[in-house]
Structure 1
Amino acid sequence: MVMDSLLSIFFLFTLFSSNLFPTFASQQPSYKDHCASIIPESTPKNPTLKPFPLGEQHKGYFTGGERIIDARTSLNRYTFYLQYMQETHTPGLFKIHGTVSFRSTPNSVYVRGNFSFSTKRSSYGQRHLHRSYLTFKLDGFWSESSGKVCLVGKGSGYSRTGNTLDLDAVFKLQNVFNASNVTSLVSGSLESFSTNSDKDDESYFEPISLLVFPKANYNYTLDSFENEFSSGKFSEQGLSSLNLSDSLSFCSYPLSRELRRLQLEYSHECNSSKNCSPISGGSGPLPSLVSLKGIECSSSTNKHRLRALVTFSNISQYWINQDFNPKTILVGEGWWDEKRNTLCVVACRIIGKESSLAGTQVGDCSVRFTLRFSSIWSIKNTNSLVGQIWSRKVANDPGYFKMITVKNYDDGRVGEFQASKYEYTQLDRVKKSCPTNKNVKNHDRLYPDADSQNMRFDMRVTESKRRVAWGYSSPSSVGGKVKVPSNFVNFISNSSSQTEVPDVPIRTSGSLFNISYKISIYSNYTLRDKNSVFNLSSEDVKISAEGIYDSGTGTLCMIGCRDLPSKTPIAGSVDCEILVKFQFPSLDAKGESYIKGSIESTRKKSDPLYFRSLDLSSAAFYRETAQKAVWRMDMEITMVLTSTTLACIFVGLQLFHVKRNPDLLPFISLMMMSILTLGHMIPLVLNFEALLAQNPNNKNFVFGNVGWLEVNEIAVRIITMVAFLLQFRLLQLTWSSRNADESKKGLWVAERKSAYVTLPLYAAGLLIAVMLLKLKNGSTWENVKSYGGFVLDGFLLPQIVMNLFSNIREINVLSCSFYFGTTFVRLLPHAYDLYRAHNYARLGDAHNYARLGDGSYYYADPSADFYSTSWDIVIPLGGILFAIIIYLQQRFGAHCVLPSRFRGSNVYEKVPVVTESEL
């Protein structure tokens, strides 16, 4: 609807654009040559207040026109805008000025919740965009007595080769009257002035046929068949909580808007379209989906009525090609039966050609359609919407078809209308298949409550120790209470359709709860093994299950029923010989915790419906754990802010130190300065986008939109930027002083010798780390990042080695606050990691890590350094040792840490600086 409104504004804007319609300033085509034989011309008078039967704006469907518009796509619509209408000197004849706009939507493919369009981003894509819209400015007459409209005008379009076209056309409509009913259809055409002999002319186009369902003074007539819906087999009660006391409740979502992808299920006798297809003269596969779209809604104190289109399609055709095909569409009238809480529809066939809409008529009205919201769910029926489609014709009539069951496709579009009750039918089988364990161990452990969000989880699915799929499990009821999907909670709280259910789940005894589940499993590839659960459905398997959950032990055991897909969807085709088990970890479990489960077939191996057992696992991420993780992340960001601020302070103190003693700058290791500078720069480069603003596409769905996290992240990166600039300034001063002082050439020699020692050490260490860690987790990039953090931890090594080669004596090149303080900042994360390992459940598992996202660790990130109990001890000890060595070198000389026989005699001593005042 929003898109249609935007397009309407676009067309109205472009109507007056001289750039788009340069030819409109020229004279309009001759009405006399093309319309006078249909409606004689007459001299117009003043504008009239009489309404046009189709309104100031009306929408319709079109087919054809491939030469000037990409019409072989989906949803080909046209819109007529009436600018103004004038009376003429001929009674009942009116002058019309308006525009007609044609729009086509590109074919699209629906893949697991995402749309991808067939149009490529190329010159072809640009031509396609231009050829998706076509507009004409028209003038002509409407005859009230004959119901005919004939207009002529000019338009601008594009050819298939992308050339701009100036088009002349005549626009015709029939049956435009001031009143209508279900049999009223307005048909017409848009025809080129060029004749068939001018087909080589780019401006020529084949006639475009038009069809409109008129709305003027509509007269409902089909509710006279109301008694046909009151027989026993059609008298089931629907959800009684719908409030239809006013027009808004009925003429709003979802009853008067489009109900898409309603699934069709046929009787067991339907293996072909004979006597089964609701499509007149249908051949080939039976349609599997039906959509109900409201054309117009009318409510009064006596009855709520609806005009609707009923469209049949297949799943393969639903997203790819939705051309207006009269053979697959019914038009009808519906009303809401308040006694049975059911929508009743009487539908009529549309007789016409698939290739052209000319001559389209409404045929017999023998199709009946009911739809209601389920008031009771069970293991074999967990659909929010259910209904039937049947024919009133006799069995030997060509238009007869057997009754079809309708239910909503599992896409959540009507999930807010939940049943008021769930009926358990398999509990006796569950008790036999899953005996309760009376000798319960670990009775002091706490497990998820049956009515908590912790009972919903994703799953990793393996078959014969090979990962084959992923899935999702969600409880549909606990006790007699139907669970409400989380994404509909806000809607229901304000909806009149909210069902009153008990607030407390119904327990069987003690800690035992009756519970039902919806389980969906999706395979990533086709398995041809006959004993695989995906043998009948290569893409997904849907299982409804019910059983008993023991909140005292965390065990869940259920009997499941899976849908059995086939080329023809047959009603009641399910396999209920399935056993489903889950074991939940305790809420207070430490370390990695997983939900473990299995899906087994209880049939014999020789049975065609038998399948091998599936092993299920899911990293348990309970709400309590999530709350702890949020608290942990808050504390980690605080620690990052603190440690980065301290790093800025320590670098600032070193800058102050060298400002007071500028002759010390050449003795600072450039390699050490480079390592520290890169340590601040690389995080800024990798997270530059986050420095400016958070990317909304990277929101973490576990924690949601946590505003304070975003603010603190930006603060961290700003402080990191300050630390980088200070560190870079120190590096620049060191480099400049080394180049400026020619007397310190020996320091360059010491720097090179230091590089000859440290660089091979770093390279060898990197090679060993990559080889060892790759055997563990297989991620080379993560290994490089971790080793980079390890090098930063030992940032003092290049300074120590350079001191040895330069043999400085009693020179405080580095301030104690700098090397001890920076060492403290680098080693603090390892101390925190030891604390974290003993106070938080690890979020390790790749699946859980993906759910949290790479940003779940803000401090002591395992991918940015070596973190384990052993490394958290070894690295701090090494860092402290390096700081002590620097202290000893600066106090007693660089070689003091070496045995006496290795100590050299060449030294660099601090030389007094003579100032100009002393001269």
Structure 2
Amino acid sequence: MNSLLSKFFLVFTFFSFNPLFSLASKSSYKEYCASIIPETTPTTKKFNSFPLSDHNTGYYIGGDSIINIDASWNRFSLYFPPRNTYATSHPHLFKIEGTISFTTNNDASYYNHHHHMGYLTFKLDGFWSQSSGNVCMVGKSKGVSKKGDSLNLDVVFKLNNVFNSINITSLVSGSLESLSSEKDDDDHYFEPISLMMFPKANYSYSLDSKEVENEFSFGSDDDEEGLSLNFDSFSFCKYPLSSAIRRLQLEYTHECNSTKNCTPIISGSSNQLPSHMSLKGIECSSKKKDRIRVLGEFSNSFVYYWNRNNSQSFNAKTMLIGEGWWDEKKNMLCVVLCHFNGSKSTSLDGTHVGDCSLRLRLRFPSIWSIKNSSSIVGQIWSNKSANDQNYFKTITVRKDDANYGVGGKDLRYEYSQLDRVNQSCPPHKVIENQGKRYPDAYSYDMKFDMSIRESKKKVAWGSSSPLFVDDEYVSTSSVSISRSEFDAGILNNDSLFNISYKISLSAMSSSPSDKNSLFNMSYYSVKISAEGIYDARYGTLCMIGCRDLVSNNGTPTANSLDCEILMKFQFPSLDTKDRSYIKGSIESTRPKSDPLYFNSLEVSAVAYYIQEVRRNVWRTDMEVIMALISTTLACVFVGLQLNHVKRNPNVLPFISIFMMSILTFGHMIPLVLNFEALLAKNPNNTTYVLGNVEKWLEVNEISVRLITMVAFLLQFRLLHLTWSSRKTDESKNNHWIAERKASYVTFPLYAVGLLIALLLKLKKDRDSVTSMYQVYRQHDPSWESIKSYGGLVLDCFLVPQVILNLFSNMNENVLSCSFYFGTTFVRLLPHAYDLYRAHNYADQDSDLYFYADPSQDFYSTSWDIFIPLVGIVFAIIIYLQQRFGAQCVLPHRFKGSKGYAKVPDSEGEVETTNM
């Protein structure tokens, strides 16, 4: 999708420039390009054989003063529309027009949000020499700098080695230079930008000779069975193969502790061996033979290749280029890799393809086991002799991620540790009619994230995913659940299942203090392959695990495992309604004197069962309906009050402006917050979506917002009428005095209540145990307390009116009975629902609440009882005040203050004193 948008952007910018550009650039071309390619008169004949494709991408160095390097990955796009390429009067010269664009990548901008998301595009016009391979063009810019300023730059663009026929050694290099002078201290000057591209048109594959193919026949794994990929079902050049080879883990021999004779690349002064290699396809062909051109990059980063926003430039010293092909007889991908030579840190000019002595082969194993559960295995080696300076020891290549659908149905797993599992965890004796149900082995419930504790201290996070259940491969690459899956029942709940897992653990601290901790400096990230038995009758999972070992400097070591690990897990029952947890342990079976021994670990994980998800989908449906009903009722009750004041306009001055303001802001704030959330919504931030439920929720959420807008407008109208009545009433000063006296009581009352709420919230935060999934969330206790207290103020919205009635001593029906009892009912309904929800549903993340959100009011069993009682009491007080007088609720000794009441209009408005 991003590539389509970038192409559209380039096409748009190409035609958005001034059409008089070519006339203005003639003088510039003669001055800067005529010595390279003489200007020639173009003909009307179109020329469609320009060797560069319509849309090209490449790498660059430089341009720091005008390009936002931190968010661009040092990539540029070059666009040559075929309709803008013309033949000329010279047979080997051709006129071309194009666009070069440096755009900020969307994903990088997300991680570098403090930078401007800008663009910089140059419209270019010039000539290409077919015989020399040179391109020279001049152009002008259109765009925004990294500082956010508008740019207007004049440039000359040069390329060389642009030929019709290309091979592995063909690299297109060039530059983009400013026409302004640095000496003149011109603001339009920028340092030259060095460019490099990999041409694609008319590529000739030449490295897969018979001699080279014979080099891929060595090794001990030739007899191992690899998956025979069926290219009838998917293209060799497309997903999933192209995604499967993106990120490969490197493992070295035991004697490799430094880069000497151990790696094909040297990354700066660091003596650390690269941990990963990523392969990216440049071009692919399936015409006569399945072939692919690849660009390989070595790195020590643990950031995924497609999110590597901290990789700031093209580093030829850590990158390789090569050709690959699929060997159908041996079921493996063979790749010949070549070094880049002649590169400099400040320029890509002179970079060329040199030594091609590297070999890479990759297989997709069809048989997995606890000691080999990688979706891809292979080797990288050199065909040089051991005394050659470019020689290095063979590197093992693995990929432990999901299989991306490559041959998933043809995979098999060989269990080898089941006897040890039975000895460590003897089978349970069958107990009839125990009445509990546990997750099915084939269900999504078997996948869980976990919190790791050591000596009661939280030390790490982990994730676990099943690979095989019995002989069936379980795909774990997708986390979305369709609505139809919620109704899937338990397939087999009275059996024992052989099961295998992939478990990944990551330490919260990079330097654990205990030397016997699993997470010391060498084991910051731990990967464990495990297999065992799951008893679906009791929800018990017992497994033997093998962890990958690394060298002292943290480098993964090939074929080095510790398989003396015992893992036990207990799943909670499916029938539990409260939040349920998976409990377990990870312990070493080695003696404490063994160097590989580690302290026992306690495991805790929140169990998100499909049945629980199903219940919560219905909960979400119910909450949306409740929100629609409550908001609609609020509109109705405000409308009834507007009708009441229309029939009795004399009561308007006696309505509390403070109360009307509270209710108006209560409808306005959700609208503002929802609008800000809509603007700030990040399309790349995918939340846990329950199939097609998301669309249904969005439609109903819009409906709730529209009804809330209506309620706000009605409430604002009532506030406006109340305010206006104070200006026209003859006793307006007396009413304002009463309002002011009521405020003197109300404001301190609310301030004290807010202080108490903050103190209660702080105490609750200290006493509560934060669950695993809440640790990474940024919470502000003070802000949450203010929001919750705001909900409490709305629940007790009648307080200002009760106090105002006491000061004004009003005894008429200022508020309609339907308004104050109805609005009280609307405000107290969420608390009644919260009691029902707490009894029938497990606790949920507050982001999933659509009604009675705990972060927006005080919700608990005690609050859900206390707040409705208080709300009803205030509604009864209003009823008694309007029927028997405002001071009827006061003790007799406090009565007798001066108040104001209305007499019939025929007698005029007079001041009365109630003693």
Which range, TM-score by smaller chain? 0.7 to 0.9
- Structure 2 counterparts to residues 108-119 of structure 1, below 5 A: 116-117=111-112
Find out whether 1:575 has 2:562 as its counterpart.
yes
Counterparts of 1:751 and 1:214, CA distance in 2: 79
Aligned partners of 2:757 and 2:789 also within 8 Å: yes
Distance in 1 of aligned mates of 2:887 and 2:191? 94
Which deviations, in whole Å up to 9, do the C-alpha atoms of 1:653-675 show, x marking residues without a partner? Answer: 33333332333333434444344
Do the aligned partners of residues 765 and 239 (structure 1) sit closer, same or farther apart at CA in structure 2, a change above 3 Å counting? same
2:870 matches 1:878: yes
The answer as to 2:537 corresponding to 1:552 is yes
Q: Distance in 2 between matches of 1:631 and 1:535?
A: 45
What is aligned with 1:861? 853
Distance 2:351 2:185 in 1: 30
Whichever residue aligns with residue 406 of structure 1, its letter is V
Deviation at 1:371, TM superposition (A): 1.2
Shift of 1:743: 4.5
Q: Which residue of 2 aligns with 1:334?
A: 324
CA distance in 1, matches of 2:571, 2:260: 51
SS class of match (1:381): coil
Out of 646, 652, 664, which is 1:665 matched to? Answer: 652
Cα separation, partners in 2 of 1:518 and 1:505, compared to 1, 3 Å: farther
Residue 26 of structure 2: aligned partner = 24
User: How many Å apart are 1:571 and its aligned residue?
Assistant: 0.9
- The verdict on how the C-alpha distance between 1:22 and 1:350 changes in structure 2, with shifts beyond 3 A counting, is same
Q: Is the 8 A contact 2:440 2:491 kept in 1?
A: no
1:787-841 residue CA offsets vs partner (Å, 9 max, x unmatched): 33333333334444444444445x3333332333333333333333333332x22
> Any idea what SS the aligned residue of 1:472 has?
strand
- Relative to structure 1, the CA distance from residue 64 to residue 464 in structure 2 (aligned partners, 3 Å threshold; closer, same or farther) is closer
Paired residue type of 2:562: D
Please state how far the C-alpha of 1:484 moved relative to its aligned partner: 0.8
Distance 2:182 2:740 in 1: 87
Counterpart among 727, 738, 759 of residue 715 in structure 2: 727
Contact residue 521 and residue 554 of structure 2 kept, 8 A: no
Which residue in 2 is equivalent to 1:842?
842
Per the alignment, do residues 763 and 905 of structure 1 end up closer, same or farther by CA in structure 2, a change over 3 Å counting?
closer
Query: Quick one: which amino acid aligns to residue 679 of structure 1?
Result: G
Residue equivalent to 1:716: 704
What residue in structure 2 maps to residue 781 of structure 1? Answer: 783
- Distance of aligned partners of 1:272 and 1:822 in 2 relative to their CA distance in 1, 3 Å threshold: closer
Q: Answer yes or no: is the 8 Å Cα contact 1:447–1:584 preserved in 2.
A: yes
Q: Find the counterpart in structure 2 of residue 495 from structure 1.
A: none
- Check conservation: 1:477, 1:516, Cα contact below 8 A: yes
Q: Secondary structure at the match of 1:374?
A: coil
Which residue does 1:434 correspond to in 2? 425
Task: Render the CA deviation track for 1:515-562: whole Å, top value 9, x for unaligned.
Answer: 222223334442342333331357533322222222222222222233
AA aligned to 1:578 is I
Aligned pairs for 1:69-218 (under 5 A) are 81=80, 84=85, 94-98=92-96, 116-117=111-112, 120-121=115-116, 130=120, 137-139=125-127, 141-143=129-131, 148-150=132-134, 153-155=137-139, 166=154, 172-173=160-161, 176=163, 184-185=169-170, 216=202, 218=204
C-alpha contact (below 8 Å) 1:107/1:321 kept by paired residues: no
Which amino acid is 1:559 matched to?
I
Per-residue CA distance 1:169-203 (angstroms, 9 max, x = gap): 775438x4x65655x53677669899x99999998
The residue type paired with residue 405 of structure 1 is: T
- Other structure's SS at 1:250 match: coil
Q: How many residues align?
A: 866
| Distance (whole Å) between structure 2 residues aligned to residue 164 and residue 837 of structure 1 | 63
SS in 2 for 1:637: helix
Work out the CA distance in 1 between the residues paired with 2:446 and 2:388. Answer: 53
Asked whether the 8 Å contact 1:239–1:341 carries over to 2, the reply is: yes
Q: Measured at CA, do residues 3 and 906 of structure 1 come closer, stay the same or move farther in structure 2, by a change above 3 Å? A: closer
Change (3 A) 1:27 1:723: closer
Q: CA deviation at 1:589?
A: 0.8
Give the TM-score normalised by the residue count of structure 2.
0.80
2:897 & 2:156 partners in 1: Cα distance? Answer: 101
TM-superposition CA deviations, 1:819-869 (whole Å, max 9, x none): 33333333333333333332x2231xxxx515xx1x5141x3333333333
Alignment of 1:758-773 (within 5 A): 758-773=746-761
Give the SS at the match of 2:565.
Answer: strand
Report which of the two structures shows the higher radius of gyration computed on alpha carbons.
1
8 Å contact kept, 1:461–1:617: yes
Q: Is the 8 A contact 2:240 2:406 kept in 1?
A: no
Does structure 1 residue 249 correspond to structure 2 residue 235? yes
2:444 alignment partner in structure 1: 453
1:913 corresponds, among 896, 905, 909, to 905
RMSD: 4.8
- Aligned pair in 2 of structure 1 residues 582, 255: CA closer, same or farther (>3 Å)? closer
Closer, same or farther in 2 for the Cα pair 1:722/1:426, shift >3 Å? same
1:897 Cα deviation from its structure 2 partner: 3.9
Deviation at 1:570, TM superposition (A): 1.8
Structure 1 position 627, deviation (Å) = 1.9
Per the alignment, residue 423 of structure 1 pairs with 414
Q: Contact between 1:180 and 1:219, CA under 8 Å: does it hold in 2?
A: no
Distance in 2, Cα, partners of 1:413 & 1:469: 26
Q: CA deviation at 1:476?
A: 1.9
User: How far apart in 1 are the matches of 2:182 and 2:695?
Assistant: 69
Give CA-to-partner distance per residue, 1:216-245, whole Å, 9 cap, x none.
Answer: 372646331334434562524555352135
Q: Would the aligned equivalents of 2:533 and 2:543 in 1 still touch at CA under 8 Å? A: yes
* Contact 2:10 2:79 (C-alpha < 8 Å) held by counterparts: no
SS of 1:229's equivalent in the other structure is: helix
The DSSP-based 3-state class of the residue aligned with 1:685 is helix
Change (3 A) 1:764 1:62: closer
Q: Which shows bigger deviation, 879-888 or 163-172?
A: 163-172
1:497 is aligned to: none
Partner of 1:637 in structure 2?
A: 624
For residues 22 and 313 of structure 1, do their structure 2 counterparts lie closer, same or farther at Cα, with a shift above 3 Å needed? farther
Contact 1:263–1:288, Cα closer than 8 Å, also in 2:
yes
The 1:675–1:59 alpha-carbon spacing in structure 2 relative to 1, beyond 3 Å, is: closer
Which residue is 1:400 aligned to? 391
Tell me, in whole angstroms, the C-alpha distance in 2 between the residues paired with 1:417 and 1:405.
Answer: 22
How far apart, in 2, do the equivalents of 1:281 and 1:685 lie? 51
Deviations 1:327-366 (A, max 9, x none): 5555544332223321123445555455677776665654
For normalisation by structure 1, the TM-score amounts to: 0.80
Selected match of 1:265 from 221, 243, 251: 251
Question: How much has 1:281 moved relative to structure 2?
Answer: 12
Q: Is contact 2:96-2:128 (8 Å) kept?
A: no
**Amino acid of the residue matched to residue 478 of structure 1?**
V
Asked if the contact 1:191–1:206 (Cα under 8 Å) also holds between the matched residues in 2, the reply is yes
Q: CA deviation at 1:640?
A: 2.7
Gaps of 5+ in 1: 492-502
Q: Which residue of 2 aligns with 1:498?
A: none
Q: Does the residue aligned with 1:624 lie in a helix, a strand or coil?
A: helix
CA distance in 1 between partners of 2:52 and 2:110 (Å): 34
Q: What amino acid sits opposite 2:518 in the alignment?
A: V
Q: Distance in 1 between matches of 2:95 and 2:604?
A: 67
For residue 882 of structure 1, report the CA deviation from its aligned partner.
Answer: 3.3
More deviation in 714-723 or 185-194?
A: 185-194
More deviation in 346-355 or 66-75? 66-75
Residue 516 to residue 898, structure 1, CA distance change in 2 (3 Å): same
1:439 Cα offset (Å): 6.9
Q: What pairs up with 1:575-614 in 2 under 5 angstroms?
A: 575-614=562-601
Is residue 28–residue 138 contact of structure 2 (8 Å, CA) maintained in 1? Answer: no
Instruction: State the one-letter code of the partner of 2:126.
Output: L
Change (3 A) 1:637 1:261: closer
Residues 526 and 889 from structure 1, CA distance in 2 versus in 1: closer, same or farther, beyond 3 angstroms?
A: same
CA distance in 1, matches of 2:764, 2:17: 66
Distance in 2 separating the partners of 1:75 and 1:151: 22
CA distance 1:266–1:21, change in 2 (3 Å): farther
**Structure 1 residue aligned with 2:642:** 655
Deviates more, 1:659-668 or 1:900-909: 900-909
Distance 2:877 2:340 in 1: 93
Q: Which amino acid is 2:648 matched to? A: N
2:453 alignment partner, one of 458, 462, 477: 462
